[in-house]
Structure 1
Amino acid sequence: MTSPRKTWGFSSMRSRTRPPLDEGENYFRRRLFSSFRSDRQRSQGEEDDADKRRTFSDTEIETNKGVFLSSEDQPEVGAMKRFSTLFSSFRGKISKDRTGKELDLPASTELSSVEEKAKEPRYASGQFFFEYLVVVRPKKTKDGIYEPQIIYQFPKRDGMVRFQKEEEEKTLKALTLFCFPEGVNWAPLTEYPSETFSFVLTDVDGTRKNGYCRRLLPDGKGARLPEAYCIISNLACFGLFSKIFDEVEQRRKIAMAMIYPFMQSLRESAFPAPGHTVNIKSFIPDRGTEIISLTRPTDSWLEHVDFRTLFKCLSDDEVLQVFAATVLERRIIFIADELGTLSQVIHAVTVLLYPFIWQHTLISIVPEILIDVVMAPTPYLLGVQKSLADQATDQTELLVVDLSEGRKQTFIKSMGDEDTILPHKLKDEIKQALSAKNENSSLEELNRVVPEAFLPFFIKTVGHFSKYIVRNGKDQPGEFQRTNFCKAIESKSTRRFVKKFVQTQMFDLFVQEIEQRPASQDGTGFFDKKIAEYHKKMREKAKKH
C-alpha cells in the first residue's frame, strides 16, 4: 500500500485556527524560516502536543488557480490582482532552470516530500536526527554556465513507487535553489570562506522540514568550485547540526565514502531530549574509533537562535526599530553579503516576538530566481544578498535594513515612524535591560539577557489577556473581549500601541489559540508562568514600599 502524495511549499502558510500548545519546550520549533506561498487559508486538525505551533505565511502560490482572496483580502483586490499576475510570471520562471530549459518540478511551485511517514513527536527522545543529507556542487553545463547539482545523497531511498521517486527527485532538485541562491554566477575559486545558514520547507498542513546548509571550498589545489552540505530534518537545533557539519566536513576531506558510516550511525541514534546527550561511534582511518558527543541545550526554545549576529550588525536602537516594524507586521527586507548573516538575523528577529509568531511570508535567503517576491503587497521578512539589493529596494512603504559591513546607512528605506511605534517608557526599559550585555557577551549570556529584555514588553502591554477570555462553561471555547481588554490599559501611549497590535495576525491567532484550548490549560504555558512571576514580583515590591 502506497502513501498518499504529499507536497511541500517554499514557505509556510497562514492558519486561522491552531490547536493548543505547550509553549515552553516547543516554542522555537515553531518559529523557523520558510519561503514562498501566496494564499491565505485555514489549517485545522489534531497534531501531537510537540508539533502544535507553526509559522505561517500570508502568501501561497496555488497550482493553476491564481491567487485566492479571503474576505479580508477584498479591499486589496487591485493589489492582489497585480500580485496574481506577478505569480503567473513567476511560475514560468520557476518551471525553467537557469539555462532556460524546462525544470521537472511539481505542477505548482511546491516542493515534494521525500517520503510519507507517520508523524513523530518533535522535541522528544526517540526522534531521528535527520531525514537525509545531500551534497550540492555547481557543475558546468553545455552552455558554459554553472548549475548547482546534487552529487551525493544519503540515504538512498529504496522501495518507493514511481510517483514517490519522482517527487523526491523534484524536491532534491529544487533544494539547490537554497543551497546556491545566487543563481548561475559562479566560477572556480581558490579561496572561499565557509558559511552556514538555514531555511524551512513547510507542507500545506503545516508539517515542517528544516534545511541546514554549510558551503565551503573542498580541499584541493588550484581553482575549484564550492560545495554545499544540506541536511533536511524536522528538528530545530542549529547548534547540533553545525557540529554535525564539522564532522561531515572532516570526513569529506578524506573521501566522500567516509561520510556514509558517520551519517548511518547518526541516523540510527535517537535525538536527545533537552539537556541530554547522545554518543555517536565513528571510525576514521589513522585515528581509529571515536566517540562524538552531541548535547542538546536545556532551554530548547532558544536552541536554534544566535543573537550575536543581530547585535553585532545593529545597535540596540536599530534593533528596537526593526522590532517595532516587525510587531506591526510590515514589509521588511534585510540586505547582507553573507548568507549566514541573513538567516541568523532574521531568525533572531522572529524570536524577539515571543510569545507571538510571525504569520506571513518569511524567506531567510531569497534565491535570485524568486527575487520578484519583493513586489508582494502583503507583510514579509526577506533576506536578500547584497548583489541583488538594487532589485529589492525599488519598492515603497517598507523597511530595508542593510546589515553589510562598511555600509553608509543602516536603513536604506523606512516608513519614518519606526522610532515612535513603541511606548517611550517601555522602549527605555528594553534598552536598559539590554545594557547588561556587551560586545564580548557569550551566546549563553545573550540567550539570557535578550529574552529578559523583550518578554516583559509583552507582559506589560498584553499580559492581562487572560482576564478577558470569557467561557460559558468549563469545556466551552472562550471568547476574547477585545474592547474591554484595550480599555483596561491605563497608559495612553501603551493603549495606542496595543490598539494597533491587536489588529495584527500574530495577535489574532495567539488569542484564537487561547480561546480554543481547554480551560484546564489556562495559566500553564511558558508565557502564562512568566506573567505570574512578574505579578508576584510586583506584589512583593509593593509590600516593601
Structure 2
Amino acid sequence: ASIGNFFRRSLRRAGRREGKDEASAAENTPPRAPQGKPGERSSVFYSAGQFFFEYLVVVSLKKMPDGRYEPKIAYQFPKRENLLKGQKEEEERLLQAIPLFCFPDGNNWAPVTEFTSETFSFVLTNVDGSRKIGYCRRLLPSGRGVRLPEVFCIISCLGCFGLFSKILDEVEKRRQISMAVIYPFMQGLRESPFPAPGKTVTIKSFIPESGTELIELTRPVDAHLEHVEFQALLQRLSPTLILHIFASAVLERRLIFLAEELSVLSQCIHAVAALLYPFTWAHTYIPVVPECLLDTVCCPTPFMVGIQMRHLERVLEQPMEEALIVDLCEGKIIRAVGDEEEILPGKLQNEMLMSLNRHNNNNNVHTSEQVNALVSEAFVHFFVRLVGHYASYIKWSRSGSGSFQERAFCKAITSKSCRRFVKKFVKTNMFSLFIEEAEKSRIPQEGNG
C-alpha cells in the first residue's frame, strides 16, 4: 500500500468516526476529574459547524485561613440554566476539576509584580467517555502593585491548539482593558460556527478607543495535525531520543515527561502522541499532572504523563514500575528500560533518524505547518512499511463483518527484524482498536472486492 492510499484510508475512517473519536490522543483522567473507562478512545470532535466552545472559565487564587491559596472559579460564561439532573451533575464534576488543572502546581503561590503569560491545555473525560479540552492562558491581570495570576480557560470539545491560542491572545488583550470587553467577543465567537479544515471564520469585535476589529480564525488543512507542534519536540530533544520515546510509546509503555513550564509539557506530550498517527494512544494521558495526583506514576498500566520538574524527587521516590523518564529541560533521558534502541527495526529506524535530522537542521526554512506535515509523513511512512498491508488480511464474511487474520498478516512480512517488531505491535491496544475499526468499516481495495 502506498502512503497516499494509507492516508486516504485513515482519513476516510476518521471521517466515519467524526463526532465520535479524536484523531490525536485519548486521556483517562484520574478519579478527581470526570472520567471514562480505562482504555476508552478519545471522543473529541473535529466536526465543522459546531460551537467553538462550551464555557469560558476564569480561575483565580483565593487565600485560605491557613495562608495558602486555592484555585477557585471566579467567572463562568455562559451560565447554563434549566439543566436536567444528569447534565447538572456532569457540569458540577467538570467545574470541580477545572481549577485543579488550571493551577496544577500546588498551593505555593504569592502575589507578584511580574509574571510571564503561559499557554497550555488539558483533557477531561466524562463518565460517558466524551472528552473536553481545556485551553488555558495563565496571566497577571493589569494593575499596580503585587497581584496574583489568574487563568482564562476555554472548555471545548474541539481539538485545535493553534486556533484556541489565537483566541486566548484576543482574550488576554481584552483582559488588560476590562473584563467587560471579553464578554461580547466570546459571545460573538460562540455564535460563529467552527470552520471546516482550511477554512476561515471572521469575528467582529468592538474594543473601546480602537473601534470594531475583524478577527480571522483559520483552521489548518490537516485536521489530525491541528492540535500539534512538532517543533516544540525537535527544539528540546535530539532525533535519537525522539525515536527512543516513539519506540516506547508504540509498545505502550509508561512514559513520564519533566519540564517546569506547563506549556512545554502540554506541547511536547501532544506531539509525542501525534507521532503514533493513524493509531491512537488509548491509555492514561495527562499532559500536566496536578501535584495532588503525583501517585499516578505508580499505576501498573501504560501511561503518558507530564510532571513539573520541581516534583522530580517525589516522583523518583514513588514505588513505580519500569518507566521511561524524559527531562525536557536538559534534553536527556533520566531513567530507561534499557532496550529502547533495539525496539524498532534497524533499517527503518535509520531512515526516520535521517528524516528527523533533516527537519531538525532546516534553519527555519519551513513553517511550523510544513514541519508538522513533514515529520508526520516520516512516521506514517514507518507504519505503512510495516503494517500497510493490513487490509489484505481482513477476511470478509457474506454478512459484511470482517475478521483480521493476524498470523497470516505477520507471516507475510519477509524481514525478520520487521516481523519481530510487528508481532509485538499487533498485541498493543492501539493496533487492536485500529483493526476493530477496520473490521467494521469495509473500504474497497484494489483487487479485493
Q: Scaled by the length of structure 2, what TM-score is found?
A: 0.89
CA contact under 8 A between 2:44 and 2:132: conserved in structure 1?
no
Q: Secondary structure at the match of 1:229?
A: strand
Query: Which of 414, 425, 431 matches 2:336?
Result: 414
Q: Shift in Å at residue 337 of structure 1?
A: 0.4
Q: Shift in Å at residue 326 of structure 1?
A: 0.5
Structure 1 365/122 Cα, relative in aligned 2: closer, same or farther at 3 Å?
Answer: closer
After superposition, the C-alpha distances for 1:167-202 in whole angstroms (9 at most, x for unaligned) are 534421321010000121111112221111111112
Residue in structure 1 matched with residue 328 of structure 2 by the alignment: 403
Q: Tell me the number of residue pairs that the alignment of Structure 1 and Structure 2 aligns.
A: 427
Structure 1 379/303 Cα, relative in aligned 2: closer, same or farther at 3 Å?
Answer: same
**What is the one-letter code of the residue matched to 2:322?**
E
Residue in structure 2 matched with residue 227 of structure 1 by the alignment: 150
1:480 aligns with 2:404: yes
Q: Secondary structure at the match of 2:18?
A: helix
User: Percentage identity across aligned positions?
Assistant: 55
**What is the one-letter code of the residue matched to 1:506?**
M
After superposition, the C-alpha distances for 1:320-356 in whole angstroms (9 at most, x for unaligned) are 0000000011001000001111111111111111111
How far, CA to CA, are the matches of 1:57 and 1:391 in structure 2?
26
Residue in structure 2 matched with residue 516 of structure 1 by the alignment: 440
1:334 aligns with 2:257: yes
Coordinate RMSD, CA, aligned: 2.4
Residue in structure 2 matched with residue 171 of structure 1 by the alignment: 94
Q: Secondary structure at the match of 1:212?
A: strand
Unaligned runs of 5+ in 1: 1-20, 30-47, 62-90, 95-108, 113-119, 525-545
Residue in structure 1 matched with residue 40 of structure 2 by the alignment: none
Q: Shift in Å at residue 121 of structure 1?
A: 11
Residue in structure 2 matched with residue 11 of structure 1 by the alignment: none
Q: Shift in Å at residue 242 of structure 1?
A: 0.6
CA contact under 8 A between 2:118 and 2:263: conserved in structure 1?
yes
**What is the one-letter code of the residue matched to 1:173?**
Q
**What is the one-letter code of the residue matched to 1:202?**
T
CA contact under 8 A between 2:396 and 2:403: conserved in structure 1?
yes
1:434 aligns with 2:356: yes
CA contact under 8 A between 2:220 and 2:226: conserved in structure 1?
yes
Residue in structure 2 matched with residue 489 of structure 1 by the alignment: 413
Within-5 A mapping of 1:38-437: 49-54=17-22, 110=34, 122-160=45-83, 164-165=87-88, 167-394=90-317, 395-404=320-329, 407=330, 410-437=332-359
After superposition, the C-alpha distances for 1:384-411 in whole angstroms (9 at most, x for unaligned) are 011111122343411000001xx3x711
Structure 1 523/229 Cα, relative in aligned 2: closer, same or farther at 3 Å?
Answer: farther
How far, CA to CA, are the matches of 1:59 and 1:135 in structure 2?
24
CA contact under 8 A between 1:210 and 1:236: conserved in structure 2?
yes
Identify the range of structure 1 (154-163 vs 335-344) with the bigger mean alpha-carbon deviation: 154-163
Unaligned runs of 5+ in 2: 1-7, 37-42
Q: Secondary structure at the match of 1:503?
A: coil
How far, CA to CA, are the matches of 1:485 and 1:275 in structure 2?
37
How far, CA to CA, are the matches of 1:172 and 1:412 in structure 2?
36
Q: Shift in Å at residue 240 of structure 1?
A: 1.0
After superposition, the C-alpha distances for 1:448-482 in whole angstroms (9 at most, x for unaligned) are 22012111111111111111111122x42111111
Residue in structure 2 matched with residue 504 of structure 1 by the alignment: 428
Structure 1 56/316 Cα, relative in aligned 2: closer, same or farther at 3 Å?
Answer: closer
How far, CA to CA, are the matches of 1:124 and 1:417 in structure 2?
40
How far, CA to CA, are the matches of 1:302 and 1:26 in structure 2?
16
**What is the one-letter code of the residue matched to 1:429?**
E
Structure 1 465/161 Cα, relative in aligned 2: closer, same or farther at 3 Å?
Answer: closer
CA contact under 8 A between 1:196 and 1:212: conserved in structure 2?
yes
Q: Secondary structure at the match of 2:176?
A: helix
How far, CA to CA, are the matches of 2:128 and 2:324 in structure 1?
31
Identify the range of structure 1 (391-400 vs 464-473) with the bigger mean alpha-carbon deviation: 391-400
How far, CA to CA, are the matches of 1:234 and 1:162 in structure 2?
21
Q: Secondary structure at the match of 1:127?
A: coil
After superposition, the C-alpha distances for 1:217-249 in whole angstroms (9 at most, x for unaligned) are 111222211111100011111111111101111
Q: Scaled by the length of structure 1, what TM-score is found?
A: 0.74
Query: Which of 352, 355, 372 matches 1:447?
Result: 372
How far, CA to CA, are the matches of 1:53 and 1:310 in structure 2?
25
How far, CA to CA, are the matches of 2:207 and 2:347 in structure 1?
58
